[in-house]
Amino acid sequence: MIHRRQLTKIFSVLKIFFENRDILICFIFLFGGFSIIYLSYFSGIGQYGMGFAFFLGAVIYLCLKKFKINFIEFKEGLYSYRKRKLLLLNILFFTCISLSNIILYNSLYFRPAAYFVLITIGFSTIFIEIFLIKGSYFNWLIIGKILLLSLMFRASRFFTFPIIPGYDTQFHISVAKYIINTGYVPGYDIALKYTSTPLWHIFEAQSGIILATNFQTLLFYTVAAPFIIILSLFLFILVKETYHEKVGLISVILLNLANMIFVRGVTSIYTCSLVHCFFIIMLYSLIKEKKEPFPFITLVVIYAMILTHQLTTFFVFLIFIGLLLGRYFFALYNVNPLKYSTVKSGATNISLNTILLFFVSLITQWSFTGLSGDNLSFFDKVTYRLVHTLTRMYIEYTSQSDVLATSYGNYFSQYSILSNLLYSAGNSILTAFAVIGLLLIISNKNKFTVSFSYICATAILFTFIYIFTYFGLDQVFIPHRVLSFYELFLVIFASYSIYVIYTALNKAKWQQIMFILVFTSFIFLMLTTPFINRNDPLYCSDRDYRTELTLSELSAIGWSSTFQNNEVLYVDPLINRLQVSNVEILNVSDANLQSFQYNLNTENPNSNILVRNYFLDNQNFILCSTFGISEEYSFNKYVDSVINYDNLIYSVNSARIYVKT
C-alpha cells in the first residue's frame, strides 16, 4: 500500500510539474517542431510548415514570458471612441468592397491578385476596428461586416464557373435529385452507405422543391451561407464567454479565413458540413448551460449527426471524449492530497452518460448502415479496413527498417521545401499563433480551468490526423476530412494569442503597426491558399488544377452529345462524368464521356476527342485522391498525336473536338 507520506511526495512532484506546465509543454513543442522538420527533410513527409510553426511558436512564447506578457483584461476607457479613425476605416472597407466587385464584374473565370489584396485590406480594417470600439451593439456590427466580406469572397469562388465545385458534392447532389424526382431515399445501388444517413440529402431535396431554383444557387443559400453564419455566431458567443468579447471577434475573423473551413463550406460541400453546425450548437449547449442539456435534446442532436455522416460523427464523438477527459484531468490536478477533494474544471457540462449515449447510438447505427450485396455493414467494413491496415503495417515494419511511408507523405515528397512551405503558409502561421495562445492559456490559471478540455480535444484530433497518418492509418480515418474541426480549435487558441500580443504592444505604436502588417500578410496567405483557389492560384500553380469547366468547354460537350449521336467523347482526367451530369444551364447530362487512353490504339476509329486549351497548358499533372494517393499523368505524346494527325470537327473559344482517323 502507498503510505500517506509517499502519497504526499507524489503530489508534491505533480504540483511542481503543474506549476511549470507551460515550460514543459513549451519544450515539447520545441522538440516536436524540430522532429517534424527533421522527418520532413529526411523522410519526405513534407510538413515543414507545421514543424516551423511548433518551433517558432514556442520560441515566441518564451520571449513573451521573459517580458512577462500575458492576458490583459479589457478595461473601460483603455480604448476610447476614435471617430475619425473609425470613419476612415469604414470608408476604406466599403471602398475595398466596391473595387473588388468591379474587378469581379470585369473578370471571367479568374480573380486577379488585386482582388485578393482588396479583400485582405478589408479584413485588416475590421481587425483594427475591433480595438477602437466598445459595446455589444458595435460587436454585432463588426460580425456583420466580417460575414458580409466573407460571403462575398465565398460567392466569388463558388459562382466563378457554371459547375458546382467539389467531386464529392456532385455525388450528393445526384442523391438529392433522386429524392426530388421519386420522393424516395435511394437504395444502396445509388446512394451507397448514405442510404442510411440521408438527412442532408432530404434537407436539400425539400429546399429544392420549396425554393425551385438551380442547385448551385440552392447550395449556396442553404449550405454555404448558413454554414459560416452559424459557426461564426456560436463561436463568438463561446469565445466571448470563455475569454473576452475582443477575443471572440478576432476568432470570427480567423474562422472566416480558415482554409479547411472554407473547403467544407464552399469547395467541397457535402453531408459533413451539416455535422459541423450540429457540433457547434451542441458544444455551445454543453458549455453555456449550468446543467447538462435535457437528455432528449442531447439524443436528438446526436442522432441527427449520426443520420448525416458516419465518419465525421465518429470524430465528434472523439472530441467529446477529449472534453470529458480534460475535465477529469484538471480535477485530478486540483486534488488536495490531504483531503482527497476535487475541484470541477467548469469547462464543460458533458458527462459520462452523454458519452455512453453517444457511443451506443453510434455503434447501433453503424451496425445497420451500408448493408449491401456482400451483407457487410458500415461497421464491418470499417473494422475490416482497420484490421487490414494494421496487418499491412505490421508486415511492413517487420520486413524493412525504413520509416513506413504513407500516401500523404509520398505526395508531399514530390515537391520542394519552398513549395511545401508556401502551400500551407497561411495555415502554418495560424498554427504558430495557436501554439502561442495555448501556452499563454496554460500559464494563466484563470483561463486554464476553462480551456483544459479544449486542449485535450485538440490533442486527440492532432493524434488521429497527423500521428496516426504518419504511422499508416490514413487509409482508415481519412484524416483530411476532419481537419476543419482541428482548425476550429486552432482558431480559438490563435485568437487568444493575437489579442494578448496586440494589447501588450499598446504603448508602442510602431510595434502595433508592425504586428498589423504581419497579421495582414497572414490574411493574404490564408485567402490565397492554392487548394481553395484552384482556378486562380497566385503561387504553387503546379500542385492544384482547375476542376471546373467553362461555358465554352461545356458547349463543346453539349455539341458532341447532340450532333454526334451521343458517341463516346474522350476527355482529359480532370473532367468528371458526375460533374457534367449535374450542369443545369446546358443539356449535357446524357453526355457519354470516357477518359483519355494511354494507348493510342485502344480507341475505336471515328472516336471523338475533346482537347481543352487549359489542358494543353497542363498536360503533365499529379492528382491526389480521397486517401491522399497521388497519380501522375502525362499526355504529351497523346495530345500531339491528336492535334497533328486527327481531324478537327468542332472548335469553340477554349475547346476543340477531333475525330480519330
| SS3 call for 633 | strand
- What is the pLDDT at residue 368? 65
CA triple 330-335-338, angle to 5 deg: 175
Task: Assign 278 a pLDDT band (cuts: 50, 70, 90).
Answer: very high
- Grid look-up 519526405 returns 44
Q: Are strands 569-571 and 593-595 parallel, antiparallel or unpaired?
A: parallel
- What is the pLDDT at residue 275? 92
What cell was used for 13?
A: 512532484
pLDDT in tens, 489-531: 999 999 999 999 998 887 777 888 899 999 999 999 999 998 8
Is 385's pLDDT higher than 70? Answer: no
Closest CA to 216 of 185, 254, 176: 176
Cα distances (Å, whole numbers) of residue 182 to 171, 188, 207, 217, 393: 17, 15, 15, 22, 45
Q: Are the CB atoms for 190 and 222 separated by under 8 Å?
A: no
Distance CA 482, CA 463 (A): 12
Q: Are the CB atoms for 169 and 220 separated by under 8 Å?
A: no
Task: Assign 323 a pLDDT band (cuts: 50, 70, 90).
Answer: confident
Task: For 423-480, give the DSSP string.
Answer: HTHHHHHHHHHHHHHHHHHHH-HHHHHHHHHHHHHHHHHHIIIIIHHHTTTHHHH-GG
Mean pLDDT of 442-452: 71
Q: How many CA atoms lie within 13 A of 564 on its CB side?
A: 26
- What is the pLDDT at residue 433? 96
Q: Are the CB atoms for 579 and 163 separated by under 8 Å?
A: yes
Q: Are strands 655-659 and 608-612 parallel, antiparallel or unpaired?
A: antiparallel
On average, the pLDDT of the chain sits at 80
- What is the pLDDT at residue 652? 87
pLDDT in tens, 183-204: 888 887 888 778 878 899 999 9
Task: Assign 346 a pLDDT band (cuts: 50, 70, 90).
Answer: very low
| SS3 call for 170 | helix
Is 221's pLDDT higher than 90? Answer: yes
- What is the pLDDT at residue 343? 38
Backbone angles phi, psi at 612, to 5 degrees: -90, 145
Distance CA 173, CA 220 (A): 13
Mean pLDDT of 466-495: 79
Please report, rounded to a whole number, the percentage of residues in the chain having pLDDT higher than 90.
Answer: 28
Mean pLDDT of 133-140: 82
Mean pLDDT of 15-36: 83
Mean pLDDT of 362-375: 62
- What is the pLDDT at residue 407? 57
What letter does residue 655 receive in the DSSP assignment? E
Distance CA 143, CA 240 (A): 13
Q: Are the CB atoms for 580 and 589 separated by under 8 Å?
A: yes
HEC profile of 508-565: CHHHHHHHHHHHHHHHHHHHCCHHHCCCCCCCCCCCCCCCCCCHHHHHHHHHHHHHCC
Distance CA 99, CA 478 (A): 40
Residues 77-115 as b or e (16 or more Cβ within 10 Å = b) = eebeeeeeebeebeeebeebbebbeebbeeeebebeeeb
Is 172's pLDDT higher than 50? Answer: yes
Mean pLDDT of 310-331: 84
- What is the pLDDT at residue 147? 96
Torsion angle, alpha carbons of 585, 587, 589, 595, to 10: -100
Distance CA 223, CA 269 (A): 8
Q: Classify residue 5 as exposed, middle or buried by CB count within 10 Å of its CB (0-12, 13-18, 19+).
A: exposed
Is 78's pLDDT higher than 50? Answer: no
How many CB atoms neighbour CB 55 within 10 A? 21
Task: For 10-38, give the DSSP string.
Answer: HHHHHHHHHHTHHHHHHHHHHHHHHHHHH
- What is the pLDDT at residue 401? 40
| SS3 call for 652 | strand
| SS3 call for 135 | coil
Backbone angles phi, psi at 607, to 5 degrees: -75, 145
Task: Assign 56 a pLDDT band (cuts: 50, 70, 90).
Answer: very high
Length of the chain: 661
pLDDT in tens, 524-564: 999 999 888 888 888 888 777 887 888 888 888 888 877 77
- What is the pLDDT at residue 546? 82
Across 18-22, 200-204, 581-585, the highest mean pLDDT is recorded for 200-204
- What is the pLDDT at residue 394? 46
Q: How many CA atoms lie within 13 A of 224 on its CB side?
A: 27
pTM here is 0.88
What cell was used for 357?
A: 449515449
Q: Are the CB atoms for 550 and 161 separated by under 8 Å?
A: yes
- Range with the lowest mean pLDDT among 210-219, 403-412, 572-581? 403-412
Mean pLDDT of 339-359: 61
Task: Assign 135 a pLDDT band (cuts: 50, 70, 90).
Answer: confident
Domain definitions of the chain by residue range: 1-543, 551-660
Q: How many CA atoms lie within 13 A of 244 on its CB side?
A: 22
Distance CA 319, CA 166 (A): 27
Across 325-334, 339-348, 479-488, the highest mean pLDDT is recorded for 479-488
Task: Assign 269 a pLDDT band (cuts: 50, 70, 90).
Answer: confident
pLDDT in tens, 630-657: 667 777 778 888 888 888 888 888 888 8
